Structure 1
Amino acid sequence: MTLQVFGLPVARGVAIGKAVLVASSRVDVAHYFINADQIEAEIGRVRQARNTVADELSTLKREMPDDAPPELSALLDVHLMLLHDESLTGATKQWIRERHYNAEWALSAQLEVLARQFDEMDDDYLRERKADVEQVVERLLRALARGESSALAPAAGKVVEDWGGEEPLVLIANDIAPADMLQFKQSVFKGFVTDVGGKTSHTAIVARSMDIPAIVGAREASRLIRQDDWVIIDGDAGVVIVDPSPIVLEEYRFRQRQSELERERLARLRHTPAITLDGEQVELLANIELPQDAPAALQAGAVGVGLFRSEFLFMNREGELPGEDEQFEAYRAAVQAMQGLPVTIRTVDIGADKSLERLSLSELRHEHTLNPALGLRAIRWSLSEPSMFRMQLRAILRASVFGKVRLLIPMLAHAGEIRQTFEIIARAKQQLRDAGTPFLDVEVGAMIEVPAAALMIPLFLRYFDFVSVGTNDLIQYTLAIDRADESVSYLYDPWHPAVLRLIAGTIAEARGASKGVSVCGEMAGDPAFTPLLLAMGLRSFSMHPSQIASVKQRILRSDTSKLALHVAQTLGSDDPQASFRKLAGDAGQIH
């Protein structure tokens, strides 16, 4: 039966595929694909876990005291029976063979199938047996976790290979952590849906960066959608259609083809210089997370990397920080891949929605704070760990020998932080000189993402060579909105007058001081904001490679000399969005 689930559209387009459910479990479950030659080894892990749990249950039954209630023995028999039932372990092996899931994922996927079957049973007693299945699966998952770690699990930062099956897949989950998104990054899924999240949650941002249709905040999606259901994700309307009729399916397939044609048209702009109608040259840079993303930036026509989010090198590492040499190799790989174009590397921005989940350093108290976005994150954490910070700085400086490198410092707000940062940079340089390690002087920039920094921009411009406006956090902190909290996400407003005035003031001050200024947050990659940012004087945008073509199209159609005439009136309005659209639209400057 066809049903519709509604949520927030966060990445445009249409995706059609079979549903893959990532079940939420009381036991952490790793999700990754395996290669064909690894299937038997992974099935061996399931077999070993089943034998381990069978021994445990048999021992419990054998050592049960005489006065134990008979029901307990009967319950253990049920669990043993379920453990050896082909509908559990046999079907789990089938997921591994046919879908190439790892053992943990295959178990949780089969649990979803069985749980729904039990939910549909009319008999109350049989329906309640679902809890027994869940308990058996959790025992198996714990046995897998206790056993020897799978040699097939992807190494930290390694992008998992693409799904090799023929059927398109879409991901359905309660939520997806940023670290998990790394595992799903390379087009394994054609789209995804989550129960929670807002338009600017990290999940939504990554969806847009992957350029795949996505819907968040769909509430009951992971409960209503079954494993292997055919699903349509309408990323324009925010609708998920489950088990669509043939007519609906054909209509959306037509829309899918139209969307692909539009992408092909935009792709032709790749080598066209980003110059406005009045001759203003605009710099379009790429945001990347890993060195492997650099080729996509070049392919999209980026003239450099405006933001290399180095924190992704620190994630999925089982509590182990990357060493200096490992970081250096990653930065060098990105710099060399950009073939002489500039690469701006941001120092680690751990905290808020990007945490080091299993890192055991006691200094990471932000893991336990009520609001990690206001806690020990970004430069605050780096300054609290000076040896780690110097290690990262040395690695970045060493990479400067291989191309044009710029250094970017996140979340600065205090003059004391600025001075302390430059002292540590100087110390890192001296350590390299003492060791005879070559490096070049690099430009140092500051992220403007805290209102205090935007209001103190003259001070920042005395210290830094350039500034980069991180609009995601700037909006969050200006409006006191946790962008990951769906209950207040509707208040997150990039068009808020206070936000626009802070951005406009930062751009104007930087241009007046002849210092470089860019925007690297979500607003930079949203074509709806391109004319206004151009009108404010912005000439450097940094975004995910997939967004460059659509932003370039808006730039090619814009006349900045005419757009600039409307900035003052727009910033003075209570409703800047309506004001700018009316003024510029009436003058024929927004197409």
Structure 2
Amino acid sequence: MSQAELDIPQIPATASTGASFTLHGAGASAGIAIGYAHLLTAARLEAPRYEIDARDVEAEIERFDRAVRQVRDELTALHAAVPSSAPPEMAAFLNLHRMILDDTMLSEVPRELIRARRYNAEWALLHQMEALVQRFEEVEDPYLRERGADVQQVAERVLKAMMGSRHAPPVPGHEGDIILVAHDLSPADMILFKQHNFAGFVTDLGGVTSHTAIIARSLNLPAVVGMHHARQMIRERELLIVDGTAGVLIVNPDPQVLGEYRLRQRAYDLERQKLRRLKDTPASTLEGVAVELHANI
């Protein structure tokens, strides 16, 4: 992403005058967030596809290998930077992405395509990524089917490395009232966001079992995923309400709706505060008999 995306112009709260509308998706993480949209550039790149000269095969393979090594180093650095206070899912998902990167289906098969069919490195990688994603789409189990998105996210990081694009998502100068709007977010993006204090996020892709949704829940960030075309329909700095419980996104709410959701937000926050005070309280019956509580979540 370009350096220009790192800063959001300071637009007054009254600047958003577009029509109000509501979008529905899958509630990935409960809670209500109210803030201003910041649009993240779609991750997918248009990669060139061409046949290379036989004399350039080994150099093209080395270019692919160099990009894989770069992404491996990036994932290792991100893993090392995960704070001790972060949910354990963060490190686990980074490990998964490193395993996907090192799997021969992604790290070796593109090399074979370059050598046998003389595909350029980007074409070879996309060809193999599309084949792997297609296999995951045929899986009946929804959680396993979502892993195709992980393969795609890892492949796109390698693709960006070959094409010289930055991986780091933009970081706005003021965060507490910012809602991120993206076509998709990878677990690696979410780990970078852990260092910041965004209000919530919405994505076009993903489901409630995606790794991004799981991390959002562990961070208590209100989120709605599977919005399909939200990234195209929302403008920068439009006022948004994210209802992660109901899976609803309201764009440019009128004053009455905004007031109602501010009340709901306060009620939800108060309820969470009560639960936080209770979580370390020993469980017992009215007669004082201790009870052990266990949960499989």
Give TM-score scaled by structure 2 length: 0.49
Higher RCO (C-alpha 8 Å, min separation 6): 2
Give TM-score scaled by structure 1 length: 0.25
Structure with bigger gyration radius: 1
